[in-house]
């Protein structure tokens, strides 16, 4: 589709500026007075609500219950988990004054809530009969980032964080993997985004976790985006918090934990995976407006009546529809506006259409135009929106699969990452070699492990036997 919106920089000219233009021109957000903090405008927040509501339903199907915990953590409590503190130390925001007085125990504005949940579970869990606990909260967290970009990396962002407690190691690790599968389903069914999913390398493992699992999305510019994580935490946080329970043999035991989270980063993923030079391209499942009805010569009473009638029928079907019969704006302006907003389906009705008993349809993601009989149109819209959703997913999946190449050494890896996309390569899995690869490739990292256990291959950095094959990419 050729660019018709001159207010948006072309993706291929300056991808970063294109992204900023879309965020601003589509009225998703506005900047706040503090760097890295943004104002979520109604259209942007509505996208988050769509993601949140879809995800929340799936979480509850898996037995999660929603709670809400405080936004501050006493420093004395935060410092109990050494590995966790070291991992977050550069990013924490600390309150030292309250009510005009210096606080004896400063308060950490939560960067994540493992410690708070552990403290809560210490009081709630006394026996194996109290397990499992599957709690989730929808909230915001603060991480003092040096480099920020709307939705992708902010000093404050909205997210959900599930924190679960189990009797056995297997239950906790199974939960971490199960929720990774839920996140993959959110990508497929809600966002129309295919994810690579798998275990993180040692270097990329969450601070204090035994194992971290991730979903990774591929952006239009060939960079990867970590779109969500699920962690098996083992017993570290539980021991630091002093959580114990009476086991089945009456002895005191330490429980096992998992945690998992997705954030408003998913909005950024939707923008960069599906968007084009005209702006947003939204999947129907997450679009605040699924269908817009535009009246051509809307001051014509017959056109107005037909548009209003169709609008009411679609609303009765549960379609998120918008009616635009404003005579003060030209059809061309409206078309460009709704294309920029990424509305999946546009329905045009004018005097000539009414004479023929049809409506003209424009599908945003493909640019396809169709004429449909007006009388049967309402009954066709739900199936058409499903068709658009699936078409967007398949198009993104095809791009992802075409982006994956297998490489044998550092030179091949470097060339592949300069081109963009994923390069699959065997290496030893050690942190020192991964850091060396990142240095050589100017930013290439192991996104997820493709498989563990490799025969006959050596690490291209250290020459030792390779232990894993990983997907490497440059990432946001």
pLDDT of amino acid 1 = 45
15-274 topology per CATH: BirA Bifunctional Protein; domain 2 (3.30.930)
Helix, strand, or coil (residue 116)? helix
Q: What is the pLDDT of residue 298?
A: 73
Residues in the chain, pLDDT under 70: 1-4, 81-85, 87
Distance of CA 151 to the CA centre of its chain: 9
What is the rounded CA–CA span in Å between residue 154 and residue 427? 32
Distances (CA, A) of 130 to 242, 243, 248, 255, 261: 16, 12, 12, 11, 24
Superfamily of domain 291-390: Anticodon-binding domain (3.40.50.800)
User: In whole angstroms, what is the distance from residue 21 CA to residue 2 CA?
Assistant: 17
Q: What is the pLDDT of residue 3?
A: 47
Taking only the tens place, the pLDDT of each residue in 52-104 is: 999 999 999 999 999 999 999 999 988 876 665 676 778 899 999 999 999 99
Q: What is the pLDDT of residue 458?
A: 96
- 321 φ/ψ angles, rounded to the nearest 5 degrees: -110, 155
- pLDDT single digits (tens) 134-166: 999 999 999 998 899 999 999 999 999 999 999
Helix intervals (H) in 275-409: 301-316, 331-340, 351-356, 377-402
Q: What is the per-residue pLDDT for 171?
A: 98
Outline which parts of the chain fall under CATH 3.30.930.10. 15-274
Q: Where in the chain is the domain with CATH 3.40.50.800?
A: 291-390
* Long-range contact pairs involving 387-394 (C-beta distance under 8 Å, separation at least 24): 388/283, 388/284, 388/344, 388/345, 388/363, 388/364, 389/192, 389/283, 389/284, 389/285, 390/192, 391/365, 391/366, 392/192, 392/274, 392/281, 392/283, 392/365, 393/188, 393/192, 393/193, 393/194, 393/283
Mean pLDDT, the chain, whole residue set = 95
* 247 Cβ contact list (under 8 Å, min separation 6): 128, 167, 253
pLDDT score for 204:
94
pTM for this entry: 0.95
pLDDT at 70: 97
Q: What is the C-alpha separation between 306 and 301, in angstroms, rounded?
A: 9
Q: What's the CA gap between 157 and 159, in Å, rounded?
A: 7
**Nearest CA-CA partner of 476 in 448, 453, 445:** 445
Dihedral, CA of residue 303, residue 304, residue 309 and residue 312, to nearest 10:
140
Q: How far apart are CA 73 and CA 417, in angstroms?
A: 40
DSSP assignment of 233-283: EETHHHHHHT--EE-TTSSEE--EEEEEEEETHHHHHHHHHH-BTTB----
| CB contact at 8 A, 291 and 314 | yes
116 touches 69 (CB < 8 A): yes
pLDDT of residue 90: 82
Please report which helix (H) or strand (E) contains residue 80, including its range. none
pLDDT value of position 5 = 77
Q: For residue 81, what pLDDT is reported?
A: 66
Would you state the pLDDT for residue 6? 82
Q: Are 65 and 134 in contact (CB under 8 A)?
A: yes
Q: Give, in words, the CATH class of 404-474.
A: alpha beta
How wide is the angle at C-alpha 233 spanned by C-alphas 229 and 239, nearest 5°?
150
DSSP 147-180: S-BTTTB-SEEEEEEEEEEESSHHHHHHHHHHHH
pLDDT in tens, 327-358: 889 999 999 999 999 999 999 999 999 999 99
- pLDDT confidence of residue 60: 98
CB 228 within 8 A of CB 183: yes
């Amino acid at each position: 589709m050729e660019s018709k919106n001159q207010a948006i920089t072309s993706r291929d000219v300056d991808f970063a500026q294109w992204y900023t233009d879309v965020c601003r021109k589509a009225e998703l957000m506005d900047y706040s007075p503090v760097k890295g903090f943004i104002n979520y405008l109604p259209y942007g927040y509505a996208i988050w609500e769509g993601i949140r509501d879809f995800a929340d339903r799936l979480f509850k199907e898996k037995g999660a219950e929603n709670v809400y915990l405080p936004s501050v953590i006493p420093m004395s409590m935060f410092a109990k988990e050494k590995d966790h503190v070291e991992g977050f130390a550069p990013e924490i925001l600390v309150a030292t004054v309250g009510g005009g007085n210096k606080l004896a125990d400063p308060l950490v504005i939560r960067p994540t809530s493992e410690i708070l949940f552990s403290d809560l579970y210490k009081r709630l869990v006394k026996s194996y009969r109290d397990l499992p606990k599957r709690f989730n909260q929808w909230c915001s967290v603060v991480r003092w980032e040096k480099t920020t970009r709307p939705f992708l990396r902010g000093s404050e962002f909205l997210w959900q964080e599930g924190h679960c407690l189990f009797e056995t190691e297997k239950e906790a690790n199974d939960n971490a993997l199960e929720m990774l599968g839920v996140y993959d389903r959110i990508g497929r069914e809600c966002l129309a985004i295919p994810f690579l999913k798998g275990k993180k390398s040692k270097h990329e493992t969450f601070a204090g976790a035994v194992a971290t699992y991730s979903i990774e999305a591929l952006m239009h510019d060939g960079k990867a985006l970590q779109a969500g994580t699920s962690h098996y935490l083992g017993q570290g946080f539980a021991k630091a918090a002093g959580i114990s329970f009476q086991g089945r043999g009456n002895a005191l035991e330490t429980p096992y934990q998992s945690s998992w989270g997705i954030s408003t980063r998913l909005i950024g993923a939707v923008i960069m995976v599906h968007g084009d030079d005209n702006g947003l391209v939204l999947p129907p499942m997450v679009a605040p407006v699924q269908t817009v009805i535009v009246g051509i010569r809307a001051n014509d009473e017959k056109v107005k009546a037909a548009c209003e009638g169709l609008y009411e029928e679609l609303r009765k079907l549960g379609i998120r529809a918008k009616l635009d019969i404003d005579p003060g704006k030209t059809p061309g302006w409206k078309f460009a506006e709704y294309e920029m907003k990424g509305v999946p389906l546009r329905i045009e009705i004018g005097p000539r259409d009414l004479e023929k008993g049809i409506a003209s349809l424009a599908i945003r993601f493909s640019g396809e135009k169709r004429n449909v009989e007006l009388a049967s149109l309402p009954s066709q819209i739900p199936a058409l929106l499903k068709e658009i959703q699936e078409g967007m997913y398949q198009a993104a999946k095809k791009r992802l699969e075409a982006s994956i190449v297998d490489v044998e050494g550092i030179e091949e890896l470097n060339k592949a990452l300069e081109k963009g996309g994923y390069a699959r390569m065997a290496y030893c899995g050690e942190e020192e070699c991964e850091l060396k690869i990142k240095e050589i490739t100017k930013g290439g990292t192991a996104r997820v492990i493709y498989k563990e256990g490799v025969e006959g291959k050596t690490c291209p950095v250290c020459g030792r036997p390779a232990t894993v094959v990983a997907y490497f990419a440059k990432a946001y």
